[in-house]
Amino acid sequence: MIPNILPGTLDLLILKAVSLGKVHGYGVLLRIGRITADGLSVQQGALYPALYRLEHQGLIKSEWGVSENGRKAKYYRLSPIGRKRLNEQATSWNEFAAVIARALSATPQEVQ
């Protein structure tokens, strides 16, 4: 079973996906699938409220362009403050994950 995404991590994944280059909404979804090796399930529609929230906060910017199949599509890219936020969140996530991983690998001897 593919695990559901943890609350609060969708924003981080979107920022990461967008940071890899200009991309439209559907592309963000594909890119998240690729970078997580399809290891997480994202409900497709749920992506958009998150995208708009990030845009509203000024973390990503959008513009209309033409997609690979010649249709009008809205493309997102990371803004300078989005990049800063991504770095901060990546750092704190890594620290958090390390601490949790460390905690979960604890053995009975350690708590003696």
Give the one residue of 12, 35, 40, 73 binding another protein; rule: CB under 8 A.
73
Q: How far apart are CA 103 and CA 41, in angstroms?
A: 26
Burial label, 40 (beta-carbon count in 10 A; 0-12, 13-18, 19+): middle
Stretch that binds another protein, among 15-23, 49-57, 87-95, 99-107 (CB under 8 A): 49-57
Secondary structure E strands in 1-112: 23-24, 60-66, 72-78
Give the one residue of 21, 38, 39, 49 binding another protein; rule: CB under 8 A.
49
For residue 31, state whether it binds another protein (rule: CB under 8 A): no
Residues that bind another protein (CB under 8 A): 24-26, 29, 43-46, 48-50, 52-53, 55-59, 67, 69, 71-74, 79-81
